[in-house]
Amino acid sequence: METAQPHAGVHIENVSKSFGPEGARTLVLNHVSLSIKMGEFVSVIGPSGCGKSTLLKTVAGLIDADSGTVMVDGMTVKAATKNKMIGLVPQSPALLPWRTVLDNVRLPMRVNPKANANRNLRDPREILESFGLGAALDKYPGQLSGGMQQRVAIARAFVFDPSVLLMDEPFSALDEMNRDAQRLGLLDFWQSNRKAVMFVTHSVPEAIMLSDRIVVMGAHPGHIAEVIDVPLPRPRTIDVYATDEFRDLEGHVRETLREVMGQKSA
Amino acid sequence: MSTTDTSALAVQSATSATGRRFSPLASAKFKQNLRWTNWAPAVITFVIAAALWQITAIANPYVIPTIDQVWVSLIKDADTYWANMLVTGLEVLVGASSGIIAGFILAIIMAEFQVMERAVMPLVVVVMVTPIVAIAPALVVAFGFGMTPKFIVTALVVFFPMLVNSLAGLRDVDDRALDVMKTLHASRWEIFRDLRFTGSMPYVFAGLRIALPLAIVGAAVAEFVAAGQQAGLGSLVTIAAAQANLPVTWASIALLCFMGVVLISLLALVRKRVLWWSDGAAVGR
Ligand SMILES: Nc1ncnc2c1ncn2[C@@H]1O[C@H](COP(=O)(O)OP(=O)(O)OP(=O)(O)O)[C@@H](O)[C@H]1O
Ligand SMILES: [Mg+2]
């Protein structure tokens, strides 16, 4: 693990962002600051429209903040994307339907190949096999279930060994049974490939299950209301759900969310 | 514990997906297409239309020919029809392919450089709202009675639907896939190569579906205007109609129609090969 590096991970400082035309701008992010250390799993949770995706997109280099800075491993986001240091898992798998599973996972290698030098590229086959997709390498996305497609999308984000992983509600389209399996699969994989992870979710149990810290955001304008530590020991298994610590944490997070939502309606 | 749980689920979902292959579905669909409930309604419509035609033709011998008169003409002068059909076919082939290629290439340029759309699109629209029937004689004056004006008219007619559809297709990319590409710092060329080009194909084929029948219209109209010198089914129609030769007129029309059907069927075949991934449930969207 490279926790020794002083700048490793994500550093968001005082980021503000407004949308809309001149004169009718709405503030979506208001002075947001957040650091995610190398190897740390941070979930972001909050009411719909509070700016979670916007925050994630500023870290991904898809949106420029109006003010404030975002640094990834001590570099600007722009430099970080140039070096392919950011893996993105969007809300839908967003696979190319005309390419096989294997070719979809190879995409990050094919694109921007200059940044492939000096990095620990993984074998796409191996990574897919470890995701339980060994039998699906030569299938097309249309032949896979939603859960399998999402796993391919995660494999695509891991395969080029980025230092930061950004996931925007990757499991939200799946049914509850499937979601649990995907969470545990992700956790399993991440446990042996510790990246800095920013994970946007609407599910409290999901956030607790996966994270080291949970960032609760409030809306109007989007801000960080509270950061909750999740001191549950790792590796975590499905048994965590049944523990008292888990239930206490769940109560705490839900209470914080209620406060945040209450503010909104007041 | 967690590991065994996930892998068990993974294996389970993997096998369930293996059972869901493409081929059984495809062959089931094929069988379904062969079922009489699928083709019978169309056949009945055609039979009724033919019967009505025949009755009208017998009652009005100077308005339309009977089907058997047309058939006799087709057999008797098969060589002439064939030669004329080849001429029209060549016009469609050359005109349509140049119009298709030009439309697609201009669409790529416009999709990549917005300025180009703003600069060129108004001119394109002006040309396209000008009635093709009016342009054709002007082109004959300019280029003579040879093949050139026919190629140009056909290409013009095809160009616009290809341009508009291809442009829409190149623009309508999966935003989330685009986000993934941008986070990898993909160049514009890489985004085009890996995302836009193939992604635009459903629209391109929708454009072709409009453009190909129009290509035949373009070729026929060009021949109407420049009839006499060069052959072609369109010329044949005008000449025969001027002589009130009903069987030849309608035989030529029937052959133009036949060409259209052949083109559309070929297109459907190619579409199936190229766009297998876009049929059925949309993937990843
Ligand atoms: N490109 C944009 N232009 C204008 N407004 C935008 C844009 N993107 C986001 N917004 C607005 O910013 C606010 C925050 O959006 P964002 O997508 O970040 O919310 P979110 O927290 O991810 O919500 P959800 O949980 O529903 O995904 C919303 O009010 C949205 O309407
Ligand atoms: Mg969102």
Among candidate residues A118, A141, A161, the one where a domain is terminated: A161
Give rounded-to-5 percent helix, strand, coil for chain A. Answer: 40, 25, 35
Residue among B5, B16, B277 minimizing CB distance to A97? B277
Number of alpha carbons in the 13 Å side-chain half-sphere of residue B132: 24
Tell me the CA–centroid distance for residue A107 and ligand 1, in Å.
28
Looking at the structure, tell me whether residues A109 and A173 fall in a common domain. Answer: no
User: What is this model's ipTM?
Assistant: 0.90
**Whether residue A79 is found in the same domain as residue A191:** yes
> B166: closest CA among B197, B126, B135?
B197
- Asked if A44 and A217 count as a contact pair (C-beta separation under 8 A), the reply is yes
A125 and A178, same domain (yes or no)? no
Percent of chain A with pLDDT over 70: 96
Of the three residues A104, A130, A161, the one that is the final residue of a domain is A161
Cβ of B284 within 8 Å of Cβ of A97? The answer is yes
CATH of the domain at A254: 3.40.50.300
User: Does residue A146 form part of some domain?
Assistant: yes
- Kindly list the strands in the beta sheet with A196-200, ordered across the sheet, starting from the edge strand earlier in the chain: A86-89, A164-168, A196-200, A41-45, A213-218, A223-229
Query: pTM for this one?
Result: 0.83
Q: DSSP letters of B200-266?
A: THHHHHHHHHHHHHHHHHHHHHHHHHTTTTS--HHHHHHHHHHTT-HHHHHHHHHHHHHHHHHHHHH
**pLDDT tens, position by position, A37-81:** 998 999 999 999 999 999 999 999 999 999 999 999 989 999 999
Ligand 1 centre distance from Cα of residue B203 (Å)? 29
Pair A119, A190 in one domain: no
* Closest alpha carbon to B199 in B92, B108, B86: B108
Of chain B, the percentage scoring pLDDT greater than 90 comes to 61
Mark whether A148 and A172 lie in a shared domain: no
Mean pLDDT along residues A116-123: 84
Residue A113 and residue A185 in one domain: no
Residue A229 pairs in a beta bridge with A213
Residues 6+ positions from A243 with CB-CB distance below 8 Å? A232
In ligand 1, the atom with minimum distance to the C-alpha of A222 is: 14
A33 located within any domain: no
Q: Say yes or no to pLDDT of A3 above 70.
A: no
Q: Which residues in chain B have their CB less than 8 angstroms from residue A93's CB?
A: 284
Q: Which residues form the domain of A243?
A: 38-64+75-85+163-266
A198 contacts A223 by C-beta, under 8 angstroms? no
Distance of alpha carbon B252 from alpha carbon B18, whole angstroms: 52
Cβ of residue A74 closer than 8 Å to a chain B Cβ: no
Q: Report whether CATH 1.10.3720.10 matches the domain B65-278.
A: yes
Q: What does the alpha-carbon distance between residue A36 and residue A199 come to, in Å, rounded to a whole number?
A: 11
Identify the nearest ligand to the CA of A46 by its number. 1
pLDDT at position A192 is: 83
Please calculate the CA angle A181-A182-A186 and round it to the nearest 5 degrees.
Answer: 120
Q: Do A223 and A259 reside in the same domain of the chain? A: yes
Cβ proximity of B97 and B105 under 8 Å = no
Portion 83-142 of A in contact with B at CB < 8 A: 84, 86-88, 90-98, 107-108, 110-112, 115, 131-136, 139-142
Q: Name the amino acid, one letter, at A32.
A: V
Residue of A nearest to B275 (CA): A98
Could you tell me if A136 and A146 lie in one domain? yes
Average model confidence (pLDDT) for chain A?
A: 89
Are residues A53 and A142 both part of a single domain? no
What pLDDT is recorded for position B1?
A: 35
Does A225 fall in a domain?
A: yes
The set of protein residues with a Cβ atom below 6 angstroms from ligand 1 is A 19-20, 28, 48-54
Distances (CA, A) of B16 to A174, B20, B92: 16, 7, 48
List the 160-199 stretch of A: residues with Cβ below 8 A of B: 160, 166, 178, 181, 184-185, 187-188
Question: Residues 222 to 261 of A: which have CB under 8 A from any B CB?
Answer: 235-239
CB B253 within 8 A of CB B260: no
Q: Which of A46-55, B8-17, B29-38, B128-137 has the highest mean pLDDT?
A: A46-55
Measured between beta carbons, which residues in chain B are less than 8 angstroms from residue A134? 14
Residues in B closer than 8 angstroms to A81, CB to CB, are: 182-185
Query: Total domain count for chain A?
Result: 2
Mean pLDDT for A84-94 is 93
Domain boundary among A161, A191, A217: A161
- Residue A126: CB atoms within 10 A of its CB come to 12
Residues of B with CB below 8 A from A172's CB? none
| CB contact (8 A) between residue B283 and residue A95 | yes
Q: Is A43 helix (H, G, I), strand (E, B) or coil?
A: strand
Spatial separation of the C-alpha atoms in residues B153 and B218, rounded to whole Å: 6
Q: Do B277 and A144 touch (CB under 8 A)?
A: no
Q: Are A59 and A174 found together in one domain?
A: yes
